[in-house]
Chains A and B, each alone.
Chain A
Amino acid sequence: MSRVALVTGGSRGIGRAIALRLASDGHAVAVNYATNSAAADDVVATITGNGGAAIAVRADVGDADAVAAMFEAVEEELGRVDVLVNNAGITRDDLLLRMGPEAWDQVIETNLRSVYLCSRAAMRGMLRSRWGRIISVSSISGITGNPGQANYAASKAGIIGFSKSIAREIGSRNITVNVVAPGFIETDMTEELGTEIAEEVARRVAVGRLGRPEEIAAAVGYLASDDAAYVTGQTLVVDGGLAL
């Protein structure tokens, strides 16, 4: 039995690693992307090249109509979504005094509203199947806070409260809802910060280095599996011991 997974923001970075991991665990994977179709196609090609099933599906996950259309497309091509990974996220970092409403709204819409829209869309099918996994990628920023990231941290903390609430709503139907909170992971998003900050962060990490996208994907793989059936409403911090 092959389960269907949808990974939002699945074309690059952590999302790409999650898509590849879930495919290697035997899921048919829908790779959502916002703009970079070449990157999404590359993930799909990698999966299908390894004998897996995958499609790329474009959608702005902060947009209700686009999300509805995305789920329709995935259900038509792969079937009902069993595993939803809310991974899509952006940053618009700035000090609060300089953070305009647009930077706030964009981040909340893409990072948090998307989680609401996608989880809601996925829930119907999961209730019918009486099985489901909703896994959202938060951030250590949402737990400890981070200067310059008031919008990002708010969106990532919001995901945690959202997930705990939904976990209580639908736990009785074999649907678990969990969060993975990465620390500093080597991706395009953290690369923007420069090597100096990366080295400084690495010194503060107990494990002594930045994380790899695959290490986040492994946590998602676990939470998506039957082994994690009794884990719900949790936030699994995968940060190499940064926030201890």
Chain B
Amino acid sequence: MKKALLSSLGLAACVLCTAPAHAHFMMTYTPETYMQKAENADFRLVFTHPTEAGSVMDMGGVQEFYAMHKRGDNLKKTDMKKYLKDITWANPGSKAPAYAATIPAKEIRSMGDHVFVLIPGYYLEKEEDVYMQQISKLILNVGGAPTSWNEPVGLPTEIVPMIKPYALWTGNIFQGQVLSKGKPVANAEIEVEYMSNMPNMATNTMPKESSVDYKNPSLVTQTIFADENGVFSFGIPKAGWWGFAALGVGPDTEYKGKGLSQDAVIWVQANDIK
């Protein structure tokens, strides 16, 4: 009996041992990426493992949070950092500082793409003794007019979508190009996660219950690679939110004397055909 218990404990420990570290994702979240007419947009900025509502980490503050919008040929940058409020985000078993923002409708009322950019601070991944900085993009469209969704913002590193990230059907192929200082990153490694524990905006939490039964840890975080032009493709199997993080692709590789993984993240939202 004792032996059986020990064996099962050993098995449990072993399972934990082999479980891969889930991917860190800078979550730039608002419930809808498309609005027929501009409304106030509620945002949450959280550094977490969105699949399985994992650990929440301190992103080290926000350097910049803004939106780019094109009017004719004029590209306008609107600071959104002024709308940020400190919150604590809590997932089951973990919590950390995060941010909430209500972007007033007047800031996004112009038709077209509003490309939201979050440049967070630095997070020290103690286990590996390296810093992480995930520069994150989310594209919100108002009114259906496409404007600058497929244009680079000019970030140190970014993923430029090649299909509208707010107009995806389930089953579409999402394609993006990974850039570093505006140049394609050949063979970039990209982690992909599904937001299977949807954020609760009222309580600033993610529920324990997942909408997906992950039979294999490799399905929790999928890893794909870009081609020689930095272009990657991913078939979207389920409606909802998908995050793509290109790892260590940014030009900065050091922060405070330690290694730095400067990553590019983009979030897309897929819809079922009903």
Does A associate with B in a complex? no
User: Which A residues contact B (CB, under 8 angstroms)?
Assistant: none
User: Which B residues contact A (CB, under 8 angstroms)?
Assistant: none
